[in-house]
Structure 1
């Protein structure tokens, strides 16, 4: 009787036999890693990735977070004034896991300093006395997360924040961060800043104020400065091609608006291309 006849009479085809044999070999390799390596079996991609340098395990920056005093006001600014799109919102976060995830280091510091955690701005998410709400806003190349910590009795969105805003907002303070928005190449930068302030003021966001490149000593002088004072143009050195200005957002957060033209734009483009080529 032929081998082929045996397969047919038992109802088992060659493909099934080969698959069964392959499964047996795979099982043997799994129980004997040395044998698998001796046969030159490739390592799973996830295993190889987990052994790579830390930078190779990242996909980049996912989002920037800003803690705000008034969620609705901040959301209006980043969506209706600056044109971002809401991704989703979530909130009323409380409980031990989220509390520990966000605040363990601050609680340890409070204990070491022998102070009530609340006095250094630590909310009680663990017990639910305070809650956390978040909203994510999409721009073309980055996501901004708005966060508000509030007392449980305060309404979500329009309620007061748990902690008072910091008095010192100079960008020179260590740990200070800022969000930088990339203005399109064909936009008049001076007019953009003028229109940004005007639209924000129309909505009652009077804290949205951009700096000027000339010296002013009062808010009245700042407002009266000529429009061309809205832009700092760098025309020499490695940063040649930058146009920029610093600006406070509606929550007092530090913002920056920039254009990257000419040499500096090429520097960024070349650096990105080189990184992508390295994989």
Structure 2
């Protein structure tokens, strides 16, 4: 949990909150550029010149892809904020960028939920029945926390009843019953394991550390057939990794795993030919963006 100074409502003091918001925005905005610079030191020396800055307005007529600077964050709506935050910071080692919350009112409600309210009207149903909280009237509130990893940020979101304390306790809405990754619109977060780390041992330690913290949902799949939780736990260590050794994915290792909120996670390691494939693709993209004035 944060040790930041709080006011009597459990929120960050306004001055401190403003500082965190400004600092957090600056940190997040620089993540993509910093990650590229770490991988290619030459890029760190290529800061925009005054001429480039003056010409930046021309970018508004460029193709959409040239106007982007990468993926800023992945968002995950959680049932229990404190539990999810502990997993992504204390277990997986992310660092907090900032937290904010108690969002309510017409503007934020419309920003997030207009499409779902229109859908409810078209179907003639109460918006609540399709997961639309009352942020507009303040019956429910939204809290967020941003967690930074080396090359991307994860945003944790919790929608809660107004009377529910920030952070702890359950979400306003019930979690989904069916969490198969095969459903359309399902998404997952993929973490990249370092080249010199033993994949099988990492997955074993991830499960053990999560279990020690009472995060019983954190379960990784196995590459052999198991028919019960007991068999899954008893599987040999080398069943923790699917190592691909042929075809275009040669050198790719992966496993799927559920997170503490039931969210779909993936862990991968890219070595050999497949790593070169991704590096070549990144180099080609940089050349394309440079040619397009990006």
Same fold (TM over 0.5): yes
Distance 1:182 1:173 in 2: 24
Any residues of structure 2 matched to 1:75-114 within 5 Å, and which? 75-114=85-124
Whichever of the two has the greater Rg, that structure is 1
Question: 1:1-40 deviations in whole A, cap 9, x for unaligned?
Answer: xxxxxxxxxxxxxxxxxxxxxxxxxxxxxxxxxxxxxxxx
Asked if residue 210 in structure 1 is aligned to residue 220 in structure 2, the reply is: yes
> Is 1:149 aligned with 2:159?
yes
Report the Cα offset of residue 277 of structure 1.
1.8
Please report how far the alpha carbon of residue 44 of structure 1 lies from its aligned counterpart in structure 2 after TM superposition. 5.3
Q: Secondary structure at the match of 2:247?
A: coil
- Residue in 2 that maps onto 1:12: none
1:43 shift after superposition: 11
Instruction: Map Cα deviations across residues 56-85 of structure 1 (whole Å, 9 max, x no partner).
Output: 110110000000000000000000000000
| Residue 186 (structure 1) aligned with residue 196 (structure 2) | yes
Take 1:44 and 1:225, find their aligned partners in 2: how far apart are those partners? 60
The alpha carbon displacement at 1:48 in A equals 1.1
- Inter-partner Cα distance in structure 2 for 1:148 and 1:115: 24
Match 1:175 to one of 185, 188, 197: 185
Q: Distance in 1 between matches of 2:156 and 2:241?
A: 28
After TM superposition, the structure 1 = structure 2 runs for residues 229-240 of structure 1, keeping only pairs within 5 Å, are: 229-240=239-250
Question: Which string of whole-angstrom CA distances, capped at 9 and with x for unpartnered residues, describes residues 105-131 of structure 1?
Answer: 000000111110000110110000000
- 1:21-170 superposed matches below 5 A: 45-170=55-180
Gap runs ≥5 in structure 1: 1-41
Q: Which residue, 250, 261, 278 being the options, matches 2:260?
A: 250
Structure 2 unaligned residues grouped into runs of 5+:
1-51
Q: Please give the TM-score of this superposition, normalised by the length of structure 1.
A: 0.84
Report the 3-state secondary structure (helix = DSSP H, G, I; strand = E; otherwise coil) of the residue aligned with 2:97.
Answer: strand
- The question of 1:261 aligning with 2:275 is answered no
What is the CA–CA distance in structure 1 between the aligned matches of 2:57 and 2:85, rounded to whole Å?
41
Cα distance in 2 for partners of 1:43, 1:115 equals 50
Deviations 1:165-187 (A, max 9, x none): 00110000000000000000000
Question: How far apart are the structure 2 equivalents of 1:140 and 1:275?
Answer: 20
- Note if 1:225 corresponds to 2:211: no
Q: Does 1:196 align with 2:206?
A: yes
Q: What is the number of residues matched between the two proteins?
A: 238
Distance in 1 of aligned mates of 2:186 and 2:256:
13
Q: Distance in 2 between matches of 1:112 and 1:46?
A: 42
